[in-house]
Amino acid sequence: MNNTFSTDYNAQNVTDYPNNNTYFLVWNFKDSADPDKIKSVFQRVCALVINLNNSALDRFPDSKASCVMGIGYEAWQQLELPQPLPKEFKKFQEIRGSKHTAVSTKGDLHFHIRADEKSFAYDMASTISGYMKEIADCVVEVQGFRYWDSRSILGFVDGTENPHGKDRDHFAIVDDSDLQYEGGSYLFVQKYTHNLDAWKSLSVEEQEKVIGRSKDLDIEMEDDVKPKNSHIALANIGDDFKVVRDNMPFGNVSTNEMGTYFICYASTFSTVEKMLTNMFIGNPPGNYDRILDFSTAQTGTLFFVPSLDMLDEFSG
């Protein structure tokens, strides 16, 4: 692995660590909206995102607050943004296995808002929505929260395999191999809902076999013990192929609709595709990720996160 990664770029906050409160917003442009109006509001929103981040840093430097904006493939074309496209940027195609499917859903703009203070996250989400509602519909709004020691609602620690330090830049941010888009990042998201009744019917030992780790201490099973269809065995595809995950649990206890918003930033989307193929089709085919028997992907969208410098150019 190359640890001499260049940092001569101005990336958005894609490598920030998860915190206590998160808003995930996906907006789709209205068919009825005037194209020139869409472009005008988009320019203002690009400037707004830069402003929100600068303001957060100046006013509340310890709040760990940030907003990252990603742009969908169709929106990139509609807005007539730079060509050629980032090398691996495309419309995500569903991955259909013998039993489970990683669905593909439309998303024009994605906003990932983090803050330790829930009120700060709310204010940023509300301000962005005030701009966007004139030209677009919000198709996904998820309010994520930190569950104990960074566990998913299934009770297991989430994100143990995340890279740290300089490796976060290496695995999350496009380098100078795609010079026009250096400092950008591929953003992939899926909203999963969990069948908690079925999950809770399993013993702790059975749950651990599904995940491939111990529940209490988060220790990975030895290879000769870990099931070949466990989540760890299939989702982790090698030390040279990692992404930066920022997953958060969400839910409504009264309806028992609880889930995980899967979000990752990657320097190459092919890494994400390989991981999803392992999970949904299986390695070998048919040996799919057992966690999918309890977790259903409701969405699946690829976005590209431009660098702050490019975002500033987009703002006009």
Q: What whole-number distance in Å separates Cα of residue 237 and Cα of residue 214?
A: 20
The two three-digit tokens of residue 185, written as one number: 């990042």
Cα pseudo-dihedral 45, 50, 51, 52, rounded to 10: 90
Helix/strand/coil for 137:
strand
Instruction: Report which of 290, 188, 155, 167 is spatially closest to residue 233, judged by C-alpha positions.
Output: 290
Q: What are phi and psi of 244, to 5 degrees?
A: -100, 110
The residues assigned a catalytic role are 158
DSSP conformational letter for 86: P
What are the residues facing 113 on neighbouring strands? Answer: 23, 67
User: What's the gap between Cα 49 and its chain centre?
Assistant: 18
